[in-house]
Amino acid sequence: MIRALIYLAQAGAFESKRDYLPALRELRDRDRAELERNPPLRQYMAHELGCYMLGEAGILLLDWKLAPSDEIARQLHDTIENRIGDPRGLAWGASGTTLAALFMHEWTGEPRWQHLFFRHCDALWNQCQYDDDLRCFLRTHDLYRVTEKEIGALDGFAGTVFPLIRGRYLLADDRVAELVRRVVQALNTTVLCEDGFSNWPNIPEHHRRPSRCRYSYSTATARPESSTAWPIFQATKSRRYCSAPAP
């Protein structure tokens, strides 16, 4: 929220002279104090303190942005490095910290952040494997003791490729071309179509019909009834996959 407010103010959406740094650091101190008071939560979050959206990586990133310092940069670098290869998407895993490395490279121009971004990209790339049944590349994640393929923006394929797309200007041309091919292939082979509408189930398994869809992942709206794809999910008896041939 703080970062969004700063961005909107910098974009001219509103005027603000507020200093958010004290509130940000208070938030981090309060989080740590809460963990100290709650041993089960502290044990659960032990390794997760470094994640991007639910841990301290995002807080450290914003702390450095508001008040750059070598110490915060060191802490952030170590935090990002420790999550290389974590297969749990944007919130818990390496997809989020890949973005943090990219942002620090853009803000500082320092080679160490670009190198860290490349190491993350290689790990994310290797997590996407070709699925013979679905005829596309997808990522298998292991989250909450459940192993499955997802295409959503938080834990799935979309969340995995987004950091690569966001930082594509740093990648080799052949990798960018292959990235685009894989994304288009995955979109074509997993799309759910009916009556001129399209959407994507979060778990694209052809052998069973999706019982739910995380609309906020796939249609950019948090209210399913306002989505143009809503009629598809009302007509549960006539759902069908529209699959394009894989190249």
pLDDT, tens digit (0-9, with 9 covering 90-100), for 31-74: 888 888 888 877 777 667 788 888 889 999 999 999 999 999 99
Quick check: is 21 in a domain? Answer: no
Quick check: is 16 in a domain? Answer: no
- For tokens 């290389």, the residue is 84
Quick check: is 12 in a domain? Answer: no
More confident call, 228 vs 118: 118
Quick check: is 172 in a domain? Answer: yes
Sign of the alpha-carbon dihedral angle for 106, 112, 115, 116: negative
User: How many angstroms separate the CA atoms of 88 and 94, rounded?
Assistant: 7
Domain containing residue 82: CATH number? 1.50.10.20
CA 18, 22, 23: angle at the middle one, nearest 5?
80
Quick check: is 20 in a domain? Answer: no
| Domain limits for position 144 | 46-238
Q: Cβ distance 102 to 116 under 8 Å?
A: no
- pLDDT at residue 237, rounded to an integer: 32
193 DSSP β-pair partners: 198
CB atoms within 10 A of CB 42: 14
User: How many angstroms separate the CA atoms of 25 and 68, rounded?
Assistant: 14
Quick check: is 112 in a domain? Answer: yes
Is pTM beyond 0.85? Reply is no
Q: Cβ distance 164 to 126 under 8 Å?
A: no
- pLDDT at residue 163, rounded to an integer: 93
212: left (phi over 0), alpha (psi -120 to 50) or beta: beta
Quick check: is 35 in a domain? Answer: no
* Cα of 196 vs its chain's centroid, Å: 29
Instruction: Mention every residue, 6+ apart, whose C-beta is less than 8 A from residue 113.
Output: 77, 101, 102, 104, 105
More confident call, 226 vs 103: 103
Confidence band, pLDDT 50/70/90 cuts, at residue 152:
confident
Q: How many domains does the chain have?
A: 1
Quick check: is 244 in a domain? Answer: no
- The helices-and-strands tally (H runs, E runs) of the chain is 12, 5
Q: Which helix (H) or strand (E) holds 230?
A: helix 230-234
